[in-house]
Every structure is written in structure tokens, then in C-alpha cells.
Amino acid sequence: MPLPKENKIYTYADYIAWPENERIELIDGQIYLMTSPSRTHQRILGQLFYQFFDYLKDKSCEVYMAPFDVKFPDGNEKDEKDIKTVVQPEIVVVCDESKLDEKGCTGAPDLIIEIISPSTAQKDKLHKFNLYEKYGVKEYWIVEPENKILSVFILQDNERYGRPDIYTQDDKVKVSIFEDLVIDLKTVLITPANVDG
């Protein structure tokens, strides 16, 4: 497994040349190695994806689950291979078809969901929070499986995220970017049988 070199700024060209069996993300040219998700993580991902997919199946917006590349160009690149930020959120909802190609999404999705673990908490709550806010992701969800909590951040008129709305497994969440989509957390934030925490 190649290790990231200190003081090197990586680009999308490096990203696509990385060994396929090793998942990475790039944030501002820095490499973040991704670990294999847990069973609980995958079950939460599946439950959330199903509810979004079921709602969107006859609508113009589309939902994708990881691995799915989201590239954030800063506008100074000569071409796509110079992009320095490429992430793989657990779930993305994209309503602007022009941002989609066979390689993923270029530019801000309308909604992003990250399911955090102890090893990714800082990246998701700090680095990605700032990244998604900077690029204008309208709605950002952070799922904490261990605490059975969902934090929902909505982009305000000042282009900053406001205070989060906090939900637990007994709640239903109104998705702000749609008029009539409500996600039921009853089947999402539960622990599967034979799994601790």
C-alpha cells in the first residue's frame, strides 16, 4: 500500500492512478485513507439510501451511494485532473444533471450524508463540514451510529450552516430540499442483532 508523501499536494490525476483496491479521499490536496465500513455503517447506509431512492425514483433528482466521486474544483484548474478535492460521501443527492458524468459529480451536490466512525469523526465534523459549507452544499447530514444521533445542517442565506437540528431514532426528519420527503429514523438508527453499540 503506497503511503501519502508529506508536503506533496495531490490532484485528481494522482487520485485516479491510486490502486483500485484502496479507497482514498483528497481534501485540498491532502490524502485521507479510508477504512472498511462496519456492518452497522452499511446497514444504516442501506436504510437511508432506500428511503431516498424510493422517493426520487420518478423525480428529476438522483441519489447515489459510496463509492461515488464528488469533485470540488476551485476554478483555477487547467483541466479536471488538476482538481485537489475529491471525496466519497456515503450518500449524495444531485438535482443538477449537468454536474453528473460517468465518473461522478463535479460541484456541490444538493444534499450529502456522512456516517461517521471514531476514526473519521474529525474529518467529517471539521474538514468536510467546512468543505461542504464553502462549496454550497444545501443540506449536510452527519450520522453518529454509536450515539444513535443525526445532526442536520442547513445552508442559510448568509451561505453558512446554522445550528444543527438533532434527531434520534424515534424521530422523523423533514428533508429541507424537498417539499414532502420525510425520512423515518426508526429503521435507520437501530443496532442490528448480535452487534454491540
pLDDT at 192 over 80: no
Confidence grade of residue 188 (pLDDT, cut at 50, 70, 90): very high
Q: What is the 3-state secondary structure (H, E, C) of the chain?
A: CCCCCCCCCCCHHHHHHCCCCCCEEEECCEEEECCCCCHHHHHHHHHHHHHHHHHHCCCCCEEEECCCEEECCCCCCCCHHHCCCEECCCEEEECCHHHEECCEEECCCCEEEEECCCCCHHHHHHHHHHHHHHHCCCEEEEEECCCCEEEEEEECCCCCECCCEEEECCCEEECCCCCCCEEEHHHCCCCCCCCCC
Q: For residue 142, which amino acid is it?
A: I
Contact of 87 with 28, CB cutoff 8 Å: no
CA 70, CA 108: separation in Å to the nearest integer? 8
Q: Are the C-beta atoms of residues 145 and 115 closer than 8 Å to each other? A: yes
Q: pLDDT tens across 79-128, in order?
A: 889 999 999 999 999 999 999 999 999 999 999 999 998 888 889 999 99
Q: What is the pLDDT of residues 20-44, one digit of tens each?
A: 888 899 999 999 988 889 999 999 9
Selection from 120, 123, 162 nearest residue 139 by Cα: 162
163-170 contacts: CB < 8 A, separation 24 or more?
Answer: none
What pTM, to 2 d.p., does this model score? 0.92
